[in-house]
């Protein structure tokens, strides 16, 4: 699974042109699910434009209430039908917009309630890493994000390990770091919901992923895909990452 997080980039018109270009470059492979997370503004246009067998769509954010007096917000209920996935708990939401585990948990529940698959992002800051707190942070974010879900609901979700220090810095984590973190996350899910559920949860890596380093993660045990940000905005590079996933999946 490859999820391109475009963040706050591209106007509606630019997004539409970009998807047109991307569609000719990204080959449809049955073993790779390709998901695009454009700005919310572009979703209605792109949801009509994309061929769902080639690209699925994700929301980058939403509010957990279904409707009401929440100026400026949009809900999972309103996203229904436009997107299949929703990114929840991205470090930029946690650190720039002050979202906490309880907000993230409410969003995960709202997504599931409206049949959107959560892509729950977890990851430690540089400071937490230096202080040796990585395992504790991942534990708290996984438990905090998934609490109140049934085993059946957890089975379908996606978790992304995104160490904050690796995002947008060019300082990507080593495959060994990613392997350890992914093992820990899966063990945590297993502890809460059992081995079968833990095996079915897809776990991605994100943080300065590029066409050059993608294969090293895609061949790392336990990693089911990638969540590139910056490199998802370059059509050649993004399609090369999808190709790398296709090749890794065949092995």
The catalytic site residues sit at: 90, 162
**Measured distance CA(238)–CA(31) in Å, rounded:** 16
**Measured distance CA(226)–CA(209) in Å, rounded:** 8
The minimum distance between CB 71 and ligand PGA, in angstroms, equals: 27
Nearer Cβ to ligand PGA (40/155): 40
- When binding is defined by CB under 6 A, the residue of 89, 144, 145, 206 that contacts ligand PGA is 206
Is residue 134 within the footprint of ligand PGA (CB under 6 A)?
Answer: no
The minimum distance between CB 195 and ligand PGA, in angstroms, equals: 28
Q: Which of residues 221-240 bind ligand PGA (CB under 6 A)?
A: 227-231
225 is written with which tokens?
A: 């895909």
Strand intervals (E) in 141-201: 158-161
Site string for ligand PGA, 27-66 (x = CB under 6 A): ----------------------------------------
Residues 6+ apart with CB under 8 A from 14: none
The minimum distance between CB 212 and ligand PGA, in angstroms, equals: 13
Q: Which of residues 138-167 bind ligand PGA (CB under 6 A)?
A: 162, 167
**Measured distance CA(121)–CA(14) in Å, rounded:** 27
β-partners of residue 85 are 58, 117
Phi and psi, residue 175, nearest 5°: -55, -35
């Amino acid at each position: 699974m490859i999820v391109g997080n475009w963040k706050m980039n591209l106007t509606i018109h630019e997004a539409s042109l970009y998807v047109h270009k991307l569609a000719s470059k990204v080959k449809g492979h049955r073993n790779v699910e390709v998901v695009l997370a454009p700005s919310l503004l572009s979703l209605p246009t792109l949801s009509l434009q994309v061929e769902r067998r080639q690209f699925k769509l994700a929301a980058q954010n939403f509010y957990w209430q279904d409707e009401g007096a929440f100026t400026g917000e949009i809900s999972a209920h309103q996203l229904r039908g436009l997107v299949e996935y929703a990114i929840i708990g991205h470090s930029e939401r946690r650190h720039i917009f002050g979202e906490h585990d309880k907000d993230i948990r409410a969003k995960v529940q709202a997504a599931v309630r409206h049949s959107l698959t959560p892509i729950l992002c977890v990851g430690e800051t540089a400071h937490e890493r230096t202080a040796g707190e990585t395992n504790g942070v991942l534990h708290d974010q996984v438990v905090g994000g998934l609490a109140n879900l049934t085993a059946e609901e957890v089975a379908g979700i996606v978790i992304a390990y995104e160490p904050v220090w690796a995002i947008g810095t060019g300082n990507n984590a080593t495959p060994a770091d990613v392997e350890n973190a992914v093992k820990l996350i899966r063990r945590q899910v297993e502890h809460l919901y059992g081995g079968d559920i833990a095996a079915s949860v897809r776990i991605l890596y994100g943080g300065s992923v590029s066409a050059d380093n993608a294969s090293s993660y895609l061949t790392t045990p336990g990693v089911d895909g990638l969540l590139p940000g910056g490199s998802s905005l370059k059509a050649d590079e993004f399609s090369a990452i999808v190709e790398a996933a296709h090749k890794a999946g065949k092995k």
